[in-house]
Amino acid sequence: MNIHLPRADVTERTLAIVGELKSLEGPLLPILHEIQDEFGYVPEESLPVIARELNLSRAEVYGVVTFYHDFREHPAGRHVLKLCRAEACQSMGGDRLAERAKALLGIDFHETTPDGAVTLESVYCLGLCSCSPSAMLDGEVHARLDEAELETLVAEARR
């Protein structure tokens, strides 16, 4: 997902996305989701375009982008592994699994492996609390994980 488009393209695509969604009530979050889907993150070059089109200040748009954990200011790795760190997963050894994931990848949470393959993130609940611990790899959910399954997931992500 490391896509670096020339500035003009970002502006153009942002304009198109905003044009498509600005008639919605409260369009900013849908627009930001769409931009992140398109580029893998919310490029800084998008912000003035969104602000102008929605008649907001650039600070207001930036304030919204930075409030929400989902929106990235930089591209993630090719794969994103999210491990649930919330209570139900803690009760089933989630902390141990998190340590193992960090060791396997050689990175901490919110970091990307040097080869750009995997970004490791924490998530607070995937709603799979009856079959903890759980994780999400590129949008696919995995539950009742043990170390062996985590290793398989990590290996899959590293490819």
Partner 1 sequence: MTVKIYVPRDAAAIALGAEKVAKAMADEIAARGLDATIVRNGSRGMHWLEPLVEVETAEGRIAYGPVKARDVASLLDAGLVDGGAHPLCLGKTEEIPFFKRQTRLTFARCGITDPLSLEDYRAHGGLRGLEKAVSMQPAAIVAEVTESGLRGRGGAGFPTGIKWKTVLEARGKQKYIVCNADEGDSGTFADRMIMEGDPFVLIEGMAIAGIATGATKGYVYTRSEYPHAIAAMTEAIEIARAAGVLGASVLGSTHAFDMEVRTGAGAYVCGEETSLLNSLEGKRGLVRAKPPLPAHKGLFDCPTVINNVISLASVPVILDEGAAYYRDFGMGRSRGTIPIQIAGNVKHGGLFEIGFGLTLGEIVDEIAGGTASGRPVKAVQVGGPLGAYFPRALFDTPFDYEAFAAKDGLIGHAGIVVFDDTADMLKQARFAMEFCAVESCGKCTPCRIGSTRGVEVADKIRAGIEPEKNRELLADLCNTMKFGSLCALGGFTPYPVMSAMTHFPEDFEPAPAVEAAE
4 versus 73: smaller Cβ distance to partner 1: 73
Among 5, 107, 117, 143, binds partner 1 (CB under 8 A): 143
* Residue 75 is a binding residue for partner 1 (CB under 8 A): no
**What are the start-end ranges of the E strands in the chain?**
79-84, 111-112, 118-123, 135-137, 140-142
27: left (phi over 0), alpha (psi -120 to 50) or beta: alpha
* Residue 76 is a binding residue for partner 1 (CB under 8 A): no
* Residue 58 is a binding residue for partner 1 (CB under 8 A): no
> Binding pattern to partner 1, positions 2-21, x when CB under 8 A?
--------------------
* Residue 112 is a binding residue for partner 1 (CB under 8 A): no
- Residue 105's φ and ψ, nearest 5 degrees, are -90, -15
Q: What is the DSSP letter of 4?
A: -
Among 17, 49, 64, 157, binds partner 1 (CB under 8 A): 64
Bond preceding residue 30 cis, omega within 30 of 0: no
Among 19, 52, 59, 70, binds partner 1 (CB under 8 A): 70
Pick from 89, 30, 41, 69: which is nearest to 101 by CA? 89
- In the chain, the amino acid numbered 1 is M
- In the chain, the amino acid numbered 47 is L
Residues in binding contact with partner 1, number by CB under 8 A: 41
107, two tokens:
């990175």
* Residue 30 is a binding residue for partner 1 (CB under 8 A): yes
Residues in contact with partner 1 by CB under 8 A are: 25-30, 32-33, 54, 60, 63-64, 67-71, 86-92, 123-132, 134, 136, 139, 141-144
